[in-house]
């Protein structure tokens, strides 16, 4: 069994990006610039955004944190999005989700210029992905695909079972693994809360992607010997033995599943760091105008 070490791999890719930024600087080019919009005081969102900003600094990108009060109106937030769309120094930006309930997330996502949508959530980027066109891939699936590629995991002809059909993980993951390509050519089954005999489906999988948000949902008896297991879940559970009284676990019962796998991602330290790194890769692409040109 090999652990897919997202922390180590993302650091290696960050080093590659840092070299590229240094080269741009030497040549007097434009330094990639990512902005993150954070609304309110959601503690998890604050941690995510802080990590993103810190990662930008590590590779030499410019970063801007746009902090807004919980009570901001939708119109004011839309204005902030328009300002970022029109700021020539900002190559890409994200609006950290979830947003407060009084703000319509869909309207905000639609207002982001697809050329600067480095989270890959805008329907233009999603549609381009589905059609196999150049686009900003959504960060988490992009991170997973990069991980499979860099670890040289063969996907062609394999049966991939995805658990969860969210717009940001399960559904795009299904599209990416089923399309033609280096990482792709899988036969994909997307399972969800209405799936009949979900354990039976998962048992057939050569590749399992678990993105549900339920701790230890995937148990040892659901996993075929030699399967590749990608655990996207991030769940905080009580743990009296831990210093904080809680700890993070994935959607996979790691202790029971790991011995049966060929490859598995740990939580933390698997998919999470790859997600942040994908955002940096998309920002680099935005800065180089690789997807949409000048
Ligand atoms: P979501 O809540 O939007 O979607 C969950 C999906 O799971 C839904 O499609 C639902 O149908 C399915 N589901 C729920 N209960 C089920 C059940 N009993 N049986 C089968 N399917 C069921 O979640 P999401 O945004 O895709 O995130 C999933 C998990 O991944 C969460 O723990 C989240 O924190 C984590 N996450 C991690 C990263 C990362 O970078 N590591 C990124 C995004 C999300």
Dihedral sign computed on CA atoms, order 246, 250, 256, 259: negative
> Which whole-number Å values give the CA distances from 147 to 133, 153, 244, in the listed order?
21, 9, 30
Q: Decide if 89 is inside a domain.
A: yes
Q: How far is the CA of 213 from the centre of ligand 1 (A)?
A: 4
Q: Looking at the structure, do residues 155 and 254 belong to the same domain, yes or no?
A: yes
Residue 193 has pLDDT above 90, yes or no: yes
* Average pLDDT over every residue of 245-257: 97
- CATH number, domain of 145, equals 3.40.50.720
Distance 212 CA to ligand 1 centre (A): 3
End-to-end CA distance of the chain: 45
Same domain, 153 and 109: no
pLDDT digits (tens, 9 = 90+) for 29-51: 999 999 999 999 999 899 999 99
Residue from 212, 218, 267 whose mutation best tests the ligand 1 pocket (most atoms within 8 A of CB): 212
Q: What pLDDT, on a 0 to 100 scale, did the predictor assign at position 180?
A: 94
CA distance 247 to 190: 29
Same domain, 148 and 252: yes
What number is the average pLDDT over the span 219-231?
98
Question: Which range of residues forms the domain containing residue 66?
Answer: 27-113
In terms of domains, do 145 and 256 share one? yes
Counting residues of the chain whose pLDDT is more than 90, the rounded percentage is 98
Give the residue carrying structure tokens 């600087």: 25
We report the CATH number of the domain holding residue 75 as 3.40.50.10860
Q: How many CA atoms lie within 13 A of 241 on its CB side?
A: 1
What integer best gives the mean pLDDT of the chain?
97
11 half-sphere exposure, CB direction, 13 A CA radius: 6
Structural domains counted in the chain: 2
The predicted model scores a pTM of: 0.96
In this model, does residue 294 exceed pLDDT 90? Answer: no
Q: What gap in Å lies between CA 85 and CA 229, rounded to an integer?
A: 38
pLDDT (tens digit per residue) in 156-166: 999 999 999 99
- Considering the domain architecture, whether residues 107 and 216 belong to the same structural domain is answered as no
The answer on pLDDT for 169 being more than 80 is: yes
Output the CA 168–ligand 1 centroid distance in Å: 9
């Amino acid at each position: 069994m090999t652990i897919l070490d997202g922390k180590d791999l993302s650091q290696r890719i960050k080093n590659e990006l840092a070299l590229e930024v240094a080269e741009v600087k030497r040549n007097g080019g434009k330094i990639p610039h990512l902005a993150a919009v954070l609304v309110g005081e959601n503690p998890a969102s604050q941690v995510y955004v802080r990590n993103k900003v810190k990662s930008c600094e590590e590779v030499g990108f410019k970063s801007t944190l746009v902090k807004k009060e919980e009570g901001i109106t939708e119109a004011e937030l839309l204005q902030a999005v328009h300002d970022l769309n029109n700021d020539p120094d900002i190559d890409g930006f994200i609006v950290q989700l979830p947003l407060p309930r009084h703000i319509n997330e869909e309207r905000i996502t639609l207002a982001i210029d697809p050329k600067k949508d480095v989270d890959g959530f805008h329907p233009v980027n999603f549609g381009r992905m589905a059609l196999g066109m150049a686009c900003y891939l959504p960060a988490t699936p992009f991170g997973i695909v990069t991980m499979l590629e860099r670890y040289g995991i063969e996907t062609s002809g394999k049966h991939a079972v995805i658990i969860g059909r969210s717009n940001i993980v399960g559904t795009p993951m299904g599209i990416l693994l089923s399309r033609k390509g280096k990482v792709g050519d899988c036969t994909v089954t997307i399972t969800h809360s209405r799936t009949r005999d979900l354990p039976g489906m998962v048992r057939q999988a050569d590749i399992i992607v678990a993105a549900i948000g339920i701790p230890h949902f995937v148990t040892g008896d659901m996993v075929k010997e030699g399967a590749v297991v990608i655990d996207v879940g991030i769940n905080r559970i009580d743990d009296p033995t831990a210093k904080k009284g809680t700890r993070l676990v994935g959607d996979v019962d790691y202790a029971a599943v790991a011995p049966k796998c060929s490859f598995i991602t740990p939580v933390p330290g698997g998919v999470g760091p790859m997600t942040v790194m994908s955002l940096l890769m998309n920002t680099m692409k935005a800065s180089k105008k690789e997807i949409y040109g000048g």
